[in-house]
Chain A
């Protein structure tokens, strides 16, 4: 593949990756950030994404997969546009995280790692997200929502649904 003419990524991201590989003492240090940023744009690590990342770093696709499968934020199937990640680890659990998680399951009609039919939401039960003192907490993509009650769940879902529809209308 000629990376100068053919890339899966937006011109901005491609430019960012061009700089990223030059940033470290060793090129391969760019691998994990590159995978995560690629996933942010494309939605998941498709075969094509893995091939391009391997090419950019100068390692084999197998080596990329070997690393990518280790990290729990990296995925190989599409998630929803808004990936709801509910922490149920100890500090959150003690303050009702499982009630929050059940409420999201009800509201979205999906289970752990499920994706809604319209592709707008996916749901995950996740490990500690570093918001223990503001529990129970969730992340929707990278956005934190702290000190939640089950009553707030419907509103959070409606908020993101509105965003998704707003964007669709603009498109």
Chain B
């Protein structure tokens, strides 16, 4: 069972029921659950969307798009059925927040899904979990069955005229399926390759119907917005960044864990106070602020508020909120290599710049790290990465290129030190088979 952590600076909104047995439906109700959806049933779709807009909630999957706005894009009238799709394909390295939501608070996901359905006029929602999360899928399946038994799902939910159904779905191992259009493909029983946009899912989505796709954390946050009131929720965070965020602190930090902190919480404080500092009192080398696809920040760049705007201004992204701390014993070239190896493995191969780019970056970095690099390789790595940016259907190409560019630009000296046939002092795990 994953360890829960706690810190006095935390503001527990989404995580307030963690560890309290709320996976049991009676307990969830006892703790105030399913009240928000009742309120939403009374007030109606327009009010729900306006409240969501006022809350300042932005998508927790990584892009940070305002959730209320996303919901408002779904056409009111549609010849085809509309759908809600919850993205629980949590796969971004450094990210494990949804893991805890499914484990401790599955009914919050169900309640948020119903509210999203009411807002857009959908009668069916899907909750898609990555295949590796089998035990969490079983928890979700039980929660859904219990909600049906209580009349919270199905026809006439909560004794009203409204109908809403939920289907849980398992993936089978694919990072790319976390991309919204690839997710729909996977749910339709196909290879998880992205669709060209436009049309956007809000207009033409799952089975061709208008579809709202939200990250599991976003959806689990929704009931809390109605419980607290949109204004109170917005006030917890920073400007244009409502609420809290489940930040995952991992890597070389003294007290790793998932901490719920207000949006805009200072990154330096998060590492040194909440996380107890760098493990073993070592020096800090770099921080990956929002999952492996976000460019790293240097120690003198971390005195910033952790919200979408401030991290963006610092040249990176808040992404999925996975903060990976890297100490000064780490070889950045090896770290860059491990990062690109992941994206090379996960590239679906649909777009050539991503398929070829990740492959060549992996080859170049492998050779470089093994001590067979040449000075021009550093520029080539940068050139390759720059030419992947913005040239693919989905953001996976960017996700691979961005961190690579960050490492090369910010640690050029360390790359240069690898030259002259000298493998780096920390070199350990190099697969020369691909060189």
Contact = CB atoms under 8 A, between A and B. Distances in A.
B287 to A, nearest CB: 12
A146 B252 CA distance: 16
B171 A135 contact: no
B189 A29 contact: yes
Contact of B91 (A31, A93, A130, A135): A130
Contact of B173 (A73, A88, A89, A143): A73
Interface residues of A, number: 43
Interface string A124-155: 00011111111100010011101100000000
B251 A91 contact: yes
Contacts of B429: 98
A70 B192 contact: yes
B95 A139 contact: no
B423 interface: no
A95 interface: yes
Contacts of A129: 132
Contacts of B171: 32, 71
Interface stretch (B221-229, B309-317, B338-346, B388-396): B338-346
A25 interface: yes
Contacts of A147: 3
B172 A128 contact: no
A33 interface: yes
A36 B189 contact: no
Contacts of A2: none
Given A90-B94, A90-B339, A146-B2, A32 B189 contact: yes
Nearest to B98: A130
Contacts of A135: 250-251, 256
B338 A35 contact: no
B147 interface: no
Nearest to B259: A133
A90 B95 CA distance: 11
B257 interface: yes
A72 interface: yes
Interface of A: 23-26, 28-33, 35-36, 57, 66-67, 70-74, 88-91, 93-95, 98, 127-135, 139, 142-144, 146-147
5 tightest CB-CB pairs across the interface, nearest first? A73-B173, A31-B189, A28-B189, A71-B172, A72-B173
16 contacts: A31-B189, A36-B172, A57-B189, A71-B174, A90-B342, A94-B252, A95-B251, A95-B252, A127-B91, A128-B92, A128-B93, A128-B292, A129-B132, A131-B2, A134-B3, A135-B251
